[in-house]
Structure 1
């Protein structure tokens, strides 16, 4: 592909830092001081008190729902978008909650505030919002209503590093927020994810859940000593607080994360410039351009047909392939999750039609690669190629 979804997400300096670490006589490879320093630097950048580095954004989702399950062992409902990545919904199911689906706002591709508020009940345990494709999915109305009802907001910021709402970075609003450092995202640790929170109990649980449920991983010595004192019959090094997982990352991931974080703001600025150039040039008679760009930190070029024309969609996809433009139909997660096989025993047949905005993106929406070293003239060429189809 001449224009792939991602290009050159690792710099020479990133790789040299890893090589220098490996050239030590006895380099530590499992999680250690580099991981802990990355967690601290990431917390400061996002604007939260605590961060826990894990092996993927999907693991961040899984552990987040496990923490919610500890609070609500009887289960309940979690409101989720129909346009998202599978792990958001899978983590809800894996922890015994019932997903309640809502449609999206076409200007942000995130959950519609009206749709969320209409689905709140006394069984709602959390609202799990996905900030899709770099857009700010929050509204003041949603934040205020959830606070009044004491319903936790959980943010999936995996595709939106650096995006803001009212001047604060996304990920600093929720009870818990999750990030992904997959190769094609704003920054990468090869594979990786982060759980962020201001809640010390959440942070303790995340650190233990990440590492087999072991108390010694809690990172809070006072808490650790109190548990040891109440369990004198157990070896202090092997006290397991949860039936948990192993989702640890490595020192290599920590090194890459620290180096990539240093240039994340500058890279995000270039991505945003690219996206605005893309929107300014794309044929507005055929494609939507009225996105909420305020506060966005663009992840990929959003190409959504105005009209549901399947013949044109086929010509468009064939044309982009012929021109070497890589794309994904359906935007985030491949479109309407309610259509996916893993939900066929969960939702009624045909219920995907209840979400018309997501349905439109499912068939007539695409995302294209937007990355920091994409030059302005390349953006102009991509726009010209698409407009000519």
Structure 2
């Protein structure tokens, strides 16, 4: 592809840092000091108290819903978007909660805040909001109402590292937030994710859930001692508090994360510059340009048709393929999750039709690559290609 979705997201300096570690006579490769250092540096960057490094953003979603299940073993409802990655919805189902879907705001691609508030019932256990493709999905009214109603906010920031709301980084507003460090994202640890929180109890529980539920993973001596005293017949090294998982990452992931974090802020600035150039040059009579840009940290260029035009959309895809523009149709997660087979029998037939904004993205929305070393002239060439489609 002449214009791929991502280019050069792992730099020579990242690989050199890994190689230097491997040159030791007996390098630690499993979870160790670099993982812990990355967690601390990430927390400082984000502005939260605690972070736990895991093996993927999907695992971050899974552990977050497992924490919610500890709080609500009876189950209940979790409000989720139909435009998101599958793991947001799957983690809700896997932990025995009922997903309640809310259509999106076309300007942010996140759930419409007014529709979120309208969907809250006495069974609502959390709002699981995805900040899609670098856009800020929050409003002050939403934050205030969720606080007033005592409904926890969980932020999926997997595609939106460095995006802000009123100057605060997304991922620092919710009860828990999740990040992904997959190759194509703002920064990469090859595979990886992070669970972030200011709640110290959540922090200790996530540390255990990440590693088989083992109490020895707790770094609060008060909590560890309480488990040991309650279970005197057990070897203190092998007390399992929860039927949990192994979602640990490695020292290599920690080294790469520490190296990449140093460039993240500069990369966010460059991605944002690219986005503004892109939106100023594509034809606004054909494509939407009225996105919510304040605080955005663009993940990819969103190419959304103004109209439902099947002929145009197929000519557009043909032109992009011929011109070497890599794209994903349907934007985040391939479009409307309610059309996916894993939800058959869980939602009613044709339920997806009740979400017209997401349906438009499903058929007439795309994303194409934006990354720090994309040159101005490349952005201009991409726009010229897109604008040439009639």
Report the 3-state secondary structure (helix = DSSP H, G, I; strand = E; otherwise coil) of the residue aligned with 1:367. strand
Unaligned runs of 5+ in 2: none
Once residues 226 and 128 of structure 1 are traced to their aligned partners in structure 2, the CA distance between those partners, rounded to angstroms, is 32
Kindly report which structure 2 residues correspond to 1:1-389, keeping only aligned pairs within 5 A, or say none: 1-389=1-389
1:142-170 per-residue CA deviation (whole Å, 9 max, x = no partner) reads 10000000000000000000000011000
Once residues 226 and 353 of structure 2 are traced to their aligned partners in structure 1, the CA distance between those partners, rounded to angstroms, is 53
Once residues 376 and 202 of structure 1 are traced to their aligned partners in structure 2, the CA distance between those partners, rounded to angstroms, is 44
1:200-227 per-residue CA deviation (whole Å, 9 max, x = no partner) reads 1100010000000000001212211222
1:182-206 per-residue CA deviation (whole Å, 9 max, x = no partner) reads 0000000000000000001100010
Q: RMSD between aligned alpha carbons? A: 0.5
User: What is the CA distance between 1:41 and its match in structure 2?
Assistant: 0.3
Once residues 73 and 295 of structure 1 are traced to their aligned partners in structure 2, the CA distance between those partners, rounded to angstroms, is 37
Report the 3-state secondary structure (helix = DSSP H, G, I; strand = E; otherwise coil) of the residue aligned with 2:154. strand
Report the 3-state secondary structure (helix = DSSP H, G, I; strand = E; otherwise coil) of the residue aligned with 1:237. helix
Moved more, 282-291 or 230-239: 230-239
Report the 3-state secondary structure (helix = DSSP H, G, I; strand = E; otherwise coil) of the residue aligned with 1:195. strand
Moved more, 313-322 or 224-233: 224-233
Report the 3-state secondary structure (helix = DSSP H, G, I; strand = E; otherwise coil) of the residue aligned with 1:159. coil
User: What is the CA distance between 1:232 and its match in structure 2?
Assistant: 1.3
User: What is the CA distance between 1:89 and its match in structure 2?
Assistant: 0.1
Q: TM-score, normalised by structure 1?
A: 1.00
Report the 3-state secondary structure (helix = DSSP H, G, I; strand = E; otherwise coil) of the residue aligned with 1:122. coil
Once residues 288 and 336 of structure 2 are traced to their aligned partners in structure 1, the CA distance between those partners, rounded to angstroms, is 19
Once residues 4 and 231 of structure 1 are traced to their aligned partners in structure 2, the CA distance between those partners, rounded to angstroms, is 55
Once residues 280 and 249 of structure 1 are traced to their aligned partners in structure 2, the CA distance between those partners, rounded to angstroms, is 41
Once residues 179 and 164 of structure 1 are traced to their aligned partners in structure 2, the CA distance between those partners, rounded to angstroms, is 14
1:328-359 per-residue CA deviation (whole Å, 9 max, x = no partner) reads 00000000000000001100111101000000
Alignment size in residue pairs: 389
Unaligned runs of 5+ in 1: none
1:234-292 per-residue CA deviation (whole Å, 9 max, x = no partner) reads 10100000000000000000000000000000001000000000000000000000000
Report the 3-state secondary structure (helix = DSSP H, G, I; strand = E; otherwise coil) of the residue aligned with 1:26. coil
Report the 3-state secondary structure (helix = DSSP H, G, I; strand = E; otherwise coil) of the residue aligned with 2:236. coil
Once residues 387 and 220 of structure 1 are traced to their aligned partners in structure 2, the CA distance between those partners, rounded to angstroms, is 58
1:123-147 per-residue CA deviation (whole Å, 9 max, x = no partner) reads 0000000000000000011100000
User: What is the CA distance between 1:229 and its match in structure 2?
Assistant: 2.0
Once residues 271 and 186 of structure 1 are traced to their aligned partners in structure 2, the CA distance between those partners, rounded to angstroms, is 9
Once residues 165 and 377 of structure 2 are traced to their aligned partners in structure 1, the CA distance between those partners, rounded to angstroms, is 30
Q: TM-score, normalised by structure 2?
A: 0.99
Once residues 225 and 32 of structure 2 are traced to their aligned partners in structure 1, the CA distance between those partners, rounded to angstroms, is 21
Report the 3-state secondary structure (helix = DSSP H, G, I; strand = E; otherwise coil) of the residue aligned with 2:238. coil
